[in-house]
Amino acid sequence: MRGLILAFTFLTTLPMPALKNFEHEELSSSAVWFPLVGCSVGFVLLLAAWLGLSANPWLAALLVVLVWVVVTGALHLDGVADLADALGAAHRNPERFFAVMKDPHTGAFGVVSMVMVLLTKLVAVFCWVTSSDVSLWVLLLIPAWARLGAVYWSNTLDAMAAGSGETFAWQVSRRSLWLWAVLLFALSTWVATFWFACVAVCSLLLWRSYLQWRLGGMTGDCLGAGIEYCECLMLLSLCFLST
């Protein structure tokens, strides 16, 4: 139970009981609950979508994106910005990558990347709810898949620096990853389509391949950015699963 509370506390702004005698090592074991936390985030998004659709599809899309940012505390958007700034700065000088990533300020690359992610989600949600017959219940699964991805990437890529990415790779077994993957794949096929389930898996594999090719490893910011980009890709796929 402590691990579940820690997972919610780390990944969301949802109110959770305060834990006493907290040990930093407990954060690692909490990662096994990340997909469940993702489902909970998705449930809040589902409520926002239902509320918005009672008035207008654009309002539904806006509410979903706003709630998505608020309930996650923009944690993963920060990873998008930091990674974009670091990659931009390292284009001509690779040695600047970590220096820029640790800089608390957000540069032009970071701002543009966050805006693009938010716009992508806004337009994709609108297109999906107006043109696709895929059930809104799939919103439960998109954040779950992305957070499973974060655990998967941290377990299969080398940590490039000390931080959350390294922390969450410590105590999550490959068996747990497979169990979550099989469960989410089955649910995705049932709630959406087999093809959506395939897109979800491919998005996780693509981001891992990109990190391995471009950086040779991962950091906590890479995991956060991957969550946002995979969510965008899964949302976009829903726009093409129309009647």
Rounded Cα gap, residues 161 and 202, in angstroms: 26
How many structural domains compose the chain?
A: 1
pLDDT: is 234 or 32 the higher one?
234
Encode pLDDT of 213-222 as tens digits: 988 889 889 9
Contact 231, 147 (CB under 8 A): no
Encode pLDDT of 193-233 as tens digits: 999 999 999 999 999 999 999 888 898 899 999 999 999 99
pLDDT band at 162 (very low <50, low <70, confident <90, very high): low
pLDDT: is 154 or 114 the higher one?
114
Max mean pLDDT range (2-6, 99-103, 171-175, 213-217): 213-217
Q: Residue 18: which domain range?
A: 2-240
Asked if pLDDT for residue 103 goes beyond 70, the answer is yes
Q: Residue 174: what pLDDT? A: 84
Q: Which residue has the tokens 């093409």?
A: 240
Q: Residue 145: what pLDDT? A: 98
Q: Residue 107: what pLDDT? A: 85
**Residue 58's Cα: distance from chain center in Å?**
23
Contact 129, 140 (CB under 8 A): no
Encode pLDDT of 7-43 as tens digits: 898 899 998 887 776 666 667 778 889 999 999 999 9
Encode pLDDT of 106-119 as tens digits: 889 999 999 999 99
The count of other CB atoms within 10 Å of the CB of residue 61 is 24
